[in-house]
Structure 1
Amino acid sequence: MSARQWSRDLAMGARFAVTGGREAWVRVLLTAVGVGLGVALLLLTTALPSALASRHDRESARNDMTYGSVVAKKSDRTLVVADADTTFRDSDVRGRLLAPDGPRAPLPPGVSAFPAPGEMVVSPALGRLLKSADGKLLRERLDRRVTGTIADSGLVDPHELAFYAGAAGLDPTGTSTGRIERIGTFGTAVRSEAMDPVLVLLVLIVFVVLLMPVGVFIAAAVRFGGERRDRRLAALRLVGADGRMTRRIAAGEALAGALVGLVLGAGFFLAGRQLAGLVMVFRISVFPGDLDPSPALVALVALAVPAAAVAVTLFALRGVVIEPLGVVRTARPSRRRLWWRLLLPLGGLAMLYPMIGQGRSNGDFNQYLVIGGVLLLLVGITALLPWVVEAVVARLNSGGVAWQLAIRRLQLSSGSAARLVNGIAVAVAGAIALQMLFAGVDDDYTRVNKNDLTRAQMSVDVPAGVRLDGAVRQLSGTKGVTHTAALGRTDAGSRRNEPSTSSSVTVGDCAALRETAVLPSCKDGDVFAVENADWDTGTAKLDKPGTGLYLNPSYGSSKGREIPWKVPADIKRAGSRTDPSGSEYGGFLFTPGALPERAASVMRQTVYLGLDESVPDVRELVRNTAATIDPLTTVNTWTATSQSRKFTSIRTGLSVGATCVLVLIGASLLVSQLEQLRERRKLLSALVAFGTRRRTLSLSVLWQTAVPIALGLALAAIVGLTLGTVLLKMTGTSVHVDWASVLSMTGIGAGVVLLVTLLSLPPLIRLMRPEGLRTE
């Protein structure tokens, strides 16, 4: 067969699609909308690498923390910057204090001029929050005059909360809980850690599971109007076309719908991109300009979608004998064969089997085998579901009128019913497998914190140089704070510089010291020694009376702040105890009266806080008090557990992607449902004309949707559990089925279909009129 004849027949089919009158245009439009929704999501996926790269580039360009031990030399080209991050309710606020050393100091990206002390420039989102009624407590904390706005080039996303504030007296050489550095340029490179194999596997599975339903829906969309199309093809046979030519013409009609769908998909994507900056999903948003698909990936989508339309149409017609009178469609179809349908999931399991038990200790998983195996398993659903629907409905007969109408329709066109369900079944199966995998490896990326939440719920790190007793008074007077315990810490060494033996030093009043040790008796002026605590091997060697030690011994190039001290003769012994943070320090314990002069200036000072959780916004009140103590005060909210940021990011990405796919599923199902109702318009009108009640017909349509959905979700649960089990075995994790997640994923799928069915009822009622029998 020559390429010329192929192109001529495809072109003829495309002409029929666009010149065939109202019916042809409606079919093309329905196909184009279905394809367009899928193309829009594919374009969004191809734009994700660009969006992530843009976010990373802007984050890197504004990086100002080197965490180095050497402070840059002061010049008119340097800038002192301090980390002043904070949290407002559940949102992180990125903050920096700036003190330029000269007129040529580097400006942060997105900032046109340095703010003066007492002034700040803010991101647009933070500016809106500060002006709103909800931002009252944050306005009290960031009590500076807003003089400008950070441009997009200095922000990660349009909803980021960020500010740069002017400051004076920042000392990068001093000891402070806040990170202070002198830099000569922004954009210092930070080495990122590579993801472990299990996280890479999660990313691969997420992409496959999210994109697979899109491909299924596109394949289903190009088959809209199949029965009407077959009648037109029968007419072509009547005027002399052979069977192969009619199939190519049919493929040309599908190709026309796919090409229009590409245009609509591009339009949907462009419209959605403009709205991207206004929408925030799971705290993730992007600038519209970030969604810039790679030209190569766009070209791949532009070629793959029309090619898939042609291939799917030819595949769908492979078993259809198109005769001049078009009678084949009214005959009972031959039973579907099962054996080749089972080969797909079995092939997928065979591809995944070599990696079972590999875990994270044997290198990365083979990405080609992972993608291929998961694809075959999910594609297996689309192959098995038509056979399952046909086999089940063939045995369902007795029942009411609505039930019999629905079952008879399913018996005659089980393939159409299965196509309607395929996408949701694939999505649910993938979601179940992912939920099992996430639940299985969750413990590996979740750390149980040692913090004793019964003794404290927050801690405040007070910068050196701030009087600890004054900070304690302010924090104790904060509404909702029930009790405080303040401790200062440093080290003691046998030598001034680079000591061979060292121990920890803890300072606090008697009540506070009892939070970290078991004291025999205590009064101000006492010094205690706690030997053999966790990680402490030096105290037993250093706590001999009269031994000369140095508090805050220097390491590396930081010298000049060491404080000499001798172990007193009346030093007392105490037992070790974990402090509220769960750590057991031991070492030397000082009451304030025993602390050498100048030692307070080198202490790392922490105040532990107990809270009355019934006080509204108690944590925000504590943060506001801490900001009045010193802008560089660090406030920590204690939680029972903490999770890996990379793991959390992947889970958030899955949530965002799943939301987009669910929207696509709902929209595509609605379009598909409307297309099927349109094809049955005359049949419904005829039944109404013969006296069938509209309620009966509505129930029959509901049953026609409910039966395939129930079978599809059951098959999806089986495949999803199988895939999830294999993935858990691949990661070396014990298999555990989270039935709550399985039921919730299945319920969400059923809920989407139920919503689509309800939305299709008004058009159904309009179609159930005797006037629908009119024809031209």
Structure 2
Amino acid sequence: MNVRQWCRDLGMGARFAVTGGREGWVRMLLTAVGVGLGVALLLLTTALPNVLTARHQREEARQDLTYNAAVPPRGENTVLVGTTDTEWHSRDIRGRLLEPEGARAPLPPGVGRFPAKGEMVVSPALKELLSSDGGKLLRERLPFRITGTIGEPGLIGPHELAYYAGAEGLKVAKDSSRVVRLTAFGDPHPTTERTDPVLILMTLVVFVALLTPVAVFIAAAVRFGGERRDRRLAALRLVGSDSRMTRRIAAGEALAGSLLGLAVGTVFFLIGRQAAGSVEVRGESFFPSYLDPSPALAALVAVAVPAAAVLVTLFAMRGVVVEPLGVVRTAKQARRRLWWRLLLPLAGLAMLYPMIGQGRSHGDFNQYLVTGGVLLVLVGVTALLPWLVEAFVTRLGAGSVSWQLAVRRLQLSSGTAARMVNGIAVAVAGAIALQMLFAGLEGQYTKDTGRDPHRASMEVDLSDRSRLPQAAAELARTKGVRASVALSHGGLGDKRRDPGTTASLTVGDCAALRELVRLPSCRDGDVFVLPSTADDAATRAFMRPGRHGFIDSTYSGERGREIPWTVPAHLRQVTARKDSLRSDVTGLLLTPSALPAGAGSTLYHEVFVRLDLSVPYADEYVRNTAARVDRLASAWRWTTTVQSDQYASLRTGLFLGAVCVLALIGASLLVSQLEQLRERRKLLSSLLAFGTRRRTLGLSVLWQTAVPIALGLLLAAAVGLTLGAVLLKLAATPVSVDWASVLSLTGAGAAVVLAVTVLSLPPLMRMMRPEGLRTE
């Protein structure tokens, strides 16, 4: 067979699809919509690398943290930048104060000119928030006049909250990164950290698990209208075409539908790309310009989808005998064999087996083995489900009329029923495996902060050390605050420069120190010692009465105040409270009068706040007070744990992908269900004409959907649990199952199918009219 004959037959099939009248156009449109939904999601996936790259580049371009780099001298090309980040109802607000020091001072990306003192330029989302009725408290915290908006190059997303405000009198402190001097924005020396191998493993599994259902949906979509198509092909056999030519013509019809699906998918993607700018999920948003697919990956999709349509059709036609007098499909078929269907998941597990126990201590995972192994296990669901459905429905017996109609339909076409729910079964299996993997590894990316939110609700770190008394008093009077505790901490070295032994200093009044340790008695001027079991002999000896030291010693490259101080003779030893406000306090504890003159400016000052949680927005009142007392102060809520940013971002990506796949599941199932009902329109009308009740026919459709989906979800749960356990073994993590999540994911899949069934009932009622018996 030459290539010219292949092209001629494929072209003939494409012409049949286009010129097949109303029936042909409806079938082709349904195929195009089904394929298009999958193509749109594939194009979105090919754009993800560019999304991550674009966001990273935007973040790098506006970088203004120097990370202890040398401070450049003041000049005509320098600008002072103060960090004033804050929160609003758990949403981060990026804030900066700008003070240009010369005519050639660099502007941050997205800003056309420097705002004057009392002015600010804001992101569009922050401008909208400040102008809303609910932004009153935030307007008190940002008492600047809005004179412009930040352009897209200065933001990482359309919903980001950010502002740049003008300032005067900013000062660069040697031991603080809150005010820095820059000659240019952006990180001139970006560092590349070694990526965690387990995070790479999780990323690979996320992509494979989310994309496999898409491929399954596309493969199912190109087979829409298969029964009617095969009956039409019998006419071609009657006029002289052989079986091979018939298959190629059928492949040509599928090719036409897939090509139209590519066009429809591109339109869907462009619509979704434009709508992405108005969507925010878990605090993440994206500009439409980020969603530019990689040209190479987009070309791969454009080639792979039509090729898959042809291959799937040719493979499906192997089980159908198209003869000149009809299609041999309804005859009793040979029982499906199980042994070769088990080979796919077993081969996948065999590919994953060599990496069991590798974890993050044995280098990177083999990406090809991980991708291939997970893919084969999930594709194994599509191979096992038809056998499971057939084996189950052949054993079903008597029941109500609706049940018998459904069972007989399933017995005659169990493959069609399995194909309809294959995608959702694969999606649920992948989701269960991912949930197990993320839940099992969550503890490794979640650290205990050592802070007790019951002891302090918030912490306010001050930049201006002279304002500690004012800040403590103002915060104590703030609405929603029960109590405030002011503490300072610093260091004591045994030498002026580069000390060999150091001890920590904690300064606070008697009431504040009692929040940390048990004090028998206390008055201003007292000094206490709290030795730690981790202190070595030299440190314990250094904290004895009469020892001389220096507060704020000088280190290489960092000039200190070098204030001399002698440990007093009336030193008393104390023990820490079990519920100490800070679990890391050790060393010397001083009341304010015991601190030598001038040493207060060398310390770091913090105010701990206990909130009355019954007062709405109590934390926002605290942030307003902190900003009023010290514009550069940072106020943040205490939490018991903190999670890795990379892990949290990956989990957010998983959530976004799962939402997209779930939407695709629902839309594709609905299209598939409508196609199944359309092919059975004449049969349904005939049954209604013979007296079958509409309710009986509706229930039969429900049973036809419920039985395969129940079997599919059971199989998905088994495969998902197995795959999840293997992935946890790969990450060298104990296997555990969150049964609540497994049940919720399975229930979500069932809910999607139920919703699709309900949405298909109105078309079903319309198809059961007598007009369905008409023929042309």
TM-score range, shorter chain: over 0.9
User: Any idea what the Cα deviations from partners look like across 1:385-413, whole Å, max 9, x if unmatched?
Assistant: 11111111111121010000000001111
In 2: Cα distance, 1:544 partner to 1:334 partner: 91
8 Å Cα contact 2:516/2:582 also seen in 1: no
In 1: Cα distance, 2:531 partner to 2:644 partner: 35
In 2: Cα distance, 1:439 partner to 1:544 partner: 49
Structure 2 letter corresponding to 1:184:
T
In 1: Cα distance, 2:523 partner to 2:536 partner: 25
Residues 1:550 and 2:558 aligned together:
no
1:254 corresponds to = 254
1:179 corresponds to = 178
Residues 1:386 and 2:386 aligned together:
yes
Structure 2 letter corresponding to 1:49:
P
> What secondary structure does 2:570 align onto?
coil
> What secondary structure does 1:277 align onto?
helix
Residues 1:135 and 2:125 aligned together:
no
Structure 2 letter corresponding to 1:661:
V
Counterparts of 1:557-572 in structure 2 under 5 Å? Answer: 557-559=557-559, 561-572=561-572
Counterparts of 1:354-365 in structure 2 under 5 Å? Answer: 354-365=354-365
In 2: Cα distance, 1:575 partner to 1:226 partner: 80
Displacement, 1:673? 0.3
8 Å Cα contact 2:213/2:423 also seen in 1: yes
> What secondary structure does 2:713 align onto?
helix
8 Å Cα contact 1:533/1:576 also seen in 2: no
Gaps of 5+ in 1: none
8 Å Cα contact 1:503/1:536 also seen in 2: no
8 Å Cα contact 1:212/1:375 also seen in 2: yes
> What secondary structure does 1:488 align onto?
strand
1:531 corresponds to = 531
8 Å Cα contact 2:517/2:580 also seen in 1: no
User: Any idea what the Cα deviations from partners look like across 1:39-77, whole Å, max 9, x if unmatched?
Assistant: 000000001111111111110000010112521111110
Residues 1:444 and 2:444 aligned together:
yes
Displacement, 1:570? 3.2
8 Å Cα contact 1:71/1:173 also seen in 2: no
8 Å Cα contact 1:463/1:630 also seen in 2: yes
1:751 corresponds to = 751
8 Å Cα contact 1:530/1:539 also seen in 2: no
In 2: Cα distance, 1:547 partner to 1:747 partner: 69
Residues 1:625 and 2:619 aligned together:
no
> What secondary structure does 1:352 align onto?
helix
Higher mean displacement: 371-380 or 535-544:
535-544
Relative distance call for 1:572 and 1:580 in structure 2 (3 A) is closer
Gaps of 5+ in 2: none
> What secondary structure does 2:322 align onto?
coil
1:613 corresponds to = 613
Displacement, 1:27? 0.5
8 Å Cα contact 1:487/1:512 also seen in 2: yes
Residues 1:510 and 2:502 aligned together:
no
> What secondary structure does 1:330 align onto?
coil
8 Å Cα contact 1:534/1:586 also seen in 2: no
In 2: Cα distance, 1:72 partner to 1:526 partner: 43
User: Any idea what the Cα deviations from partners look like across 1:495-553, whole Å, max 9, x if unmatched?
Assistant: 22211221111111011112223333211122223334644755533344444321111
2:279 corresponds to = 279
2:267 corresponds to = 267
Counterparts of 1:687-698 in structure 2 under 5 Å? Answer: 687-698=687-698
Residues 1:204 and 2:204 aligned together:
yes
In 2: Cα distance, 1:515 partner to 1:552 partner: 25
8 Å Cα contact 1:539/1:588 also seen in 2: no
> What secondary structure does 1:467 align onto?
helix
Displacement, 1:592? 1.3
Counterparts of 1:83-232 in structure 2 under 5 Å? Answer: 83-176=83-176, 179-188=178-187, 189-232=189-232
> What secondary structure does 1:281 align onto?
coil
1:367 corresponds to = 367
In 1: Cα distance, 2:469 partner to 2:740 partner: 51
Residues 1:25 and 2:15 aligned together:
no
In 1: Cα distance, 2:638 partner to 2:121 partner: 30
Higher mean displacement: 129-138 or 568-577:
568-577
> What secondary structure does 1:397 align onto?
coil
Higher mean displacement: 706-715 or 525-534:
525-534
Counterparts of 1:381-460 in structure 2 under 5 Å? Answer: 381-460=381-460
8 Å Cα contact 1:578/1:585 also seen in 2: no
Relative distance call for 1:282 and 1:589 in structure 2 (3 A) is closer
RMSD of aligned residue pairs (Cα, Å):
1.4
Displacement, 1:329? 2.0
Structure 2 letter corresponding to 1:421:
V
- Percent identity between matched residues is 66
1:770 corresponds to = 770
Aligned length: 775
Displacement, 1:192? 4.2
8 Å Cα contact 2:123/2:162 also seen in 1: yes
In 1: Cα distance, 2:69 partner to 2:498 partner: 15
Displacement, 1:168? 1.3
Relative distance call for 1:758 and 1:627 in structure 2 (3 A) is same
1:234 corresponds to = 234
Structure 2 letter corresponding to 1:341:
R
2:519 corresponds to = 519
> What secondary structure does 1:207 align onto?
helix
Relative distance call for 1:44 and 1:535 in structure 2 (3 A) is farther
In 2: Cα distance, 1:481 partner to 1:118 partner: 29
User: Any idea what the Cα deviations from partners look like across 1:399-431, whole Å, max 9, x if unmatched?
Assistant: 010000000001111111011100000000000
In 2: Cα distance, 1:711 partner to 1:432 partner: 16
Relative distance call for 1:636 and 1:535 in structure 2 (3 A) is farther
In 2: Cα distance, 1:569 partner to 1:689 partner: 107
Relative distance call for 1:465 and 1:608 in structure 2 (3 A) is closer
1:311 corresponds to = 311
2:636 corresponds to = 636
Residues 1:661 and 2:641 aligned together:
no
In 2: Cα distance, 1:532 partner to 1:213 partner: 56
User: Any idea what the Cα deviations from partners look like across 1:159-191, whole Å, max 9, x if unmatched?
Assistant: 111111111111113555x62211111111442
1:350 corresponds to = 350
Structure 1 letter corresponding to 2:730:
M
1:597 corresponds to = 597
In 2: Cα distance, 1:351 partner to 1:599 partner: 64
In 2: Cα distance, 1:250 partner to 1:395 partner: 34
8 Å Cα contact 2:401/2:696 also seen in 1: yes
Residues 1:491 and 2:502 aligned together:
no
Structure 2 letter corresponding to 1:206:
V
Displacement, 1:99? 1.1
User: Any idea what the Cα deviations from partners look like across 1:310-346, whole Å, max 9, x if unmatched?
Assistant: 0000000112111001141232222211111111111
Structure 2 letter corresponding to 1:714:
L
User: Any idea what the Cα deviations from partners look like across 1:101-151, whole Å, max 9, x if unmatched?
Assistant: 101010000000011111111111111111111211111111111111000
> What secondary structure does 2:148 align onto?
strand
In 2: Cα distance, 1:47 partner to 1:226 partner: 33
